[in-house]
Amino acid sequence: MPADEQVNRIKRFVNFVDLVERNDFNIGGNVNKDRPETQGHAQLFRLFDPNCQFSIITSQPVMKSLTQYLWFEVSDRRGFINITPTIEGLVRQSGVSDGLCLVNAMHITASVFINDDEPGLHHDYEIWLEKLAPHEPINAYRHNRTGEDNADAHLKRQIMGREVVVAITKGKLDFGPWEQIFYGEFDGRRKKRVLVKIIGD
């Protein structure tokens, strides 16, 4: 092996060890400190070679993930919010190229669903859900004896669903032409959360 190539190899090995020592890769730690929500799950193995008298270190990312909580406060009792751009931003931030993105309401009187961003359709949903599970009379629902008036919201949310699971392909939400993600509020006028969990590699 030529001397310069050997020097080159030594330098690259030293660089790699430096990288590990500088803690850029560590078990369960952050890969990129500018993105505190992004985790590169790594397993660290330090193999000691007694003959060669130095250690060989391998650090393997197992799976990438991102966890984010979104807050919403809808000023009316009911409403739909298109959250697609926010989710697209989180997918980019995650660095996941291929995987799954779960988006779910963390409250049981709200939904996350995928459909069309068309105001007429949202009006139709409102009328339809009110017909299938009317808000009034309040006392028609035993749940409302607890002092709540939101029993209908628990029912409407079952029709519209709690969560969506969306494929990520080539770093993007793998969507059909009209798919948009909505937060559906059925008992608003207070702060509520949506969870986004992205996993993949």
Contacts of a copy of itself in 1-40 (CB under 8 A): 1, 6, 9-10, 12-13, 16, 28, 39
Size of the site for a copy of itself (CB under 8 A): 89
Show the tokens assigned to 169.
């392909």
**Binders in 89-148 for a copy of itself, by CB under 8 A:** 97-100, 102, 104-108, 113-116, 118, 120-121, 123-125, 128, 132-133, 141-146
Q: How far is the CB of 163 from a copy of itself (least distance, A)?
A: 6
SS3 7: helix
Helical pair 119-132 and 151-160, crossing angle rounded to 10 deg: 120
Contact residues for 12 (Cβ-Cβ < 8 A; gap 6+) = none
Q: Which of 18, 23, 63, 189 binds a copy of itself (CB under 8 A)?
A: 63
User: What's the rounded Cα separation, in Å, for the pair 133 and 157?
Assistant: 10
The smaller minimum CB distance to a copy of itself, of residues 37 and 77, is found at: 37
Q: Which residue has the tokens 């393997």?
A: 60
If the CB atoms of residues 77 and 144 are measured against a copy of itself, the closer one turns out to be: 144
